[in-house]
Structure 1
Amino acid sequence: MEDLNAFLQPGMLVRHPEQPDWGTGQVQSNINGKISVNFREQGKVVINGFRVLLEPVFD
């Protein structure tokens, strides 16, 4: 299995493609495919990087 989000680093902004109402989130950590993201409207969420491809935000 491949980590789809291996390129994500702390501080990067992302969106969850299946949860647009969460808003933009900031990556807190990315360790062994577990990505901790603090979303504006949802709070802190841990995402399995092997199952969900987060969308980077370059605004």
Structure 2
Amino acid sequence: MDDLNALLEPGMRVVHPAQPDWGTGQVQSNIAGKITVNFPEAGKIVIDSSRVALLPVFES
């Protein structure tokens, strides 16, 4: 899980696989395995990347 989350950069859009009702969030920071994401329905959440693999959203 760590490897995929390591590619996430500020500004990227992601979805939490276990919390789809949070909506599509925007990565704020990714430092030492802690990813801060601002979700429209849950606010700012800090994710431990060793426990959760966030799903990147690519929209055209």
Q: How many residues align?
A: 58
Q: Aligned-pair distance for 1:3? A: 1.8
1:9 is aligned with what amino acid? E
Q: CA RMSD in A?
A: 1.0
For residue 21 of structure 1, give the secondary structure of its aligned residue in structure 2: helix
Q: Runs ≥4 in structure 1, deviation > 2 angstroms?
A: none
Q: TM-score, normalised by structure 1?
A: 0.94
Identity of aligned residues (%): 69
Matched residue, 1:34: 34
User: 1:52 — aligned with what?
Assistant: 52
Deviation digits for residues 9-36 of structure 1 (CA, Å, limit 9, x no counterpart): 0000000000000000000000010000
Structure 1 portions without partners, runs of 5+:
none
2:42 & 2:22 partners in 1: Cα distance? 5
TM-score between both structures, scaled by the size of structure 2: 0.92
Give the aligned residue type for 2:32: N
User: Which structure: greater helix fraction?
Assistant: 2
